[in-house]
Amino acid sequence: MIFFKKFVDLHIHTNFSDGTFSPEEVVAFALKNKLSAIAITDHDTVSGIENAIAASRNTGLEVIPGIEFSAEIENYEIHILGLFIDTNNPGFLEKLKKIRNSRLERMQKMIEKLNALGISVSIEEVLAHSGSDVSVGRLHLARVLFEKGNVSSVKEAFERFIGRTKPCYVKRMIISPKEAIAMIKEVKGIAVLAHPGSMAHDEIIPRLIEEGLQAIEAYHIEHNQGRTQHYLHLAKKYNLLISGGSDCHGIGKGFPLLGLVKVPYEVLERLKLAKIKIDK
Ligand code: AMP
Ligand code: FE
Ligand code: FE
Ligand code: ZN
């Protein structure tokens, strides 16, 4: 008997944050790649989820509501995903709006810094590119700089200007990991440490667990086999659940990554069992 294994992708951005695919395009792409389930995890917004769920109706594709928060620790940042969140909580939506507004103010400041260096770019250009009412971020800015010919690649924009240690970088509204995890828990989500390999500060994990972290993203596009094995091992050691995804940004970072990280469906099943416990 031929056994068809089922796969999921639990970390995907839409054009409601810094991805380039609409929620409908994400669903179409996931179906094309024969995925069984996806999670929509935009930065600081849940606005793309409803459309993705609507587009998935009668297709057999499961869409898990999610979010990605950036949190600050000392001199580095970590990203925390919330999976299975309730997207209708008014208090939660209010907080997200505040975070997104601060992103807009921060974008203005980064643009002022770029202008001071003689680079002509305006907030209007960035918003025309991103669309209004989206969670605006550095990838939008980088793409505008690239399209205008100020840099020869998106990567160069980060390396020369807006990377964390570069001259035109401005911090987002500062949220601690504890606050990010608490926000996720308030809306009955599972808090997942995103791409721990890119943070490379494993020593922070026990503290995050005390603050309510439940899972770790062992499978990620930036994790090679060794990294994945390392985080699968850490998950076992700390009794954490596992998650995984491509972190697809459409063509935002080059080409679509959706479906390129092979995450077995069993990973989602274990997360679902944890979600049932949360809802009890
Ligand atoms: P922000 O949340 O506005 O600080 O922007 C962070 C986002 O920028 C990340 O989620 C990525 O999508 C993107 N990003 C960060 N560093 C890079 C990089 N070196 N190359 C391409 N995209 C990047
Ligand atoms: Fe992003
Ligand atoms: Fe991230
Ligand atoms: Zn992401």
247 close to ligand 1 (CB < 6 Angstrom): no
Q: How much is the pLDDT for 63?
A: 98
138 close to ligand 1 (CB < 6 Angstrom): yes
Q: How much is the pLDDT for 260?
A: 94
Q: What is the pLDDT of residues 63-93, one digit of tens each?
A: 999 999 999 998 899 999 999 999 999 999 9
Q: What is the pLDDT of residues 209-248, one digit of tens each?
A: 999 999 999 999 999 999 999 999 999 999 999 999 999 9
> Which ligand 1 atom sits nearest the alpha carbon of residue 155?
20
154 close to ligand 1 (CB < 6 Angstrom): yes
Query: pTM of the entire structure?
Result: 0.97
Nearest CA to ligand 1 atom 12: 139
Neighbours of 12 (CB within 10 A): 34
Sheet holding 62-73, edge to edge: 241-245, 215-220, 190-193, 76-83, 62-73, 37-40, 7-12, 263-264
For the cut 90, the answer to whether the pLDDT of residue 41 exceeds it is yes
- Which of 8, 34, 31 is CA-nearest to residue 272? 8
- Which of 78, 80, 82, 47 is CA-nearest to residue 64? 82
Q: Residue 43 forms beta bridges with which residues?
A: 68
Q: What is the pLDDT of residues 244-266, one digit of tens each?
A: 999 999 998 889 999 899 999 99
Q: How much is the pLDDT for 132?
A: 86
246 close to ligand 1 (CB < 6 Angstrom): no
Residue among 102, 139, 153, 171 whose CB has most ligand 1 atoms within 8 A, to mutate = 139
Query: What is the percent of the chain where pLDDT is above 70?
Result: 99
> Which ligand 1 atom sits nearest the alpha carbon of residue 137?
3
Q: What is the pLDDT of residues 89-115, one digit of tens each?
A: 999 999 999 999 999 999 999 999 999
Task: Give 42 Cα–ligand 3 centroid separation in angstroms.
Answer: 9
Neighbours of 200 (CB within 10 A): 9
For the cut 70, the answer to whether the pLDDT of residue 1 exceeds it is no
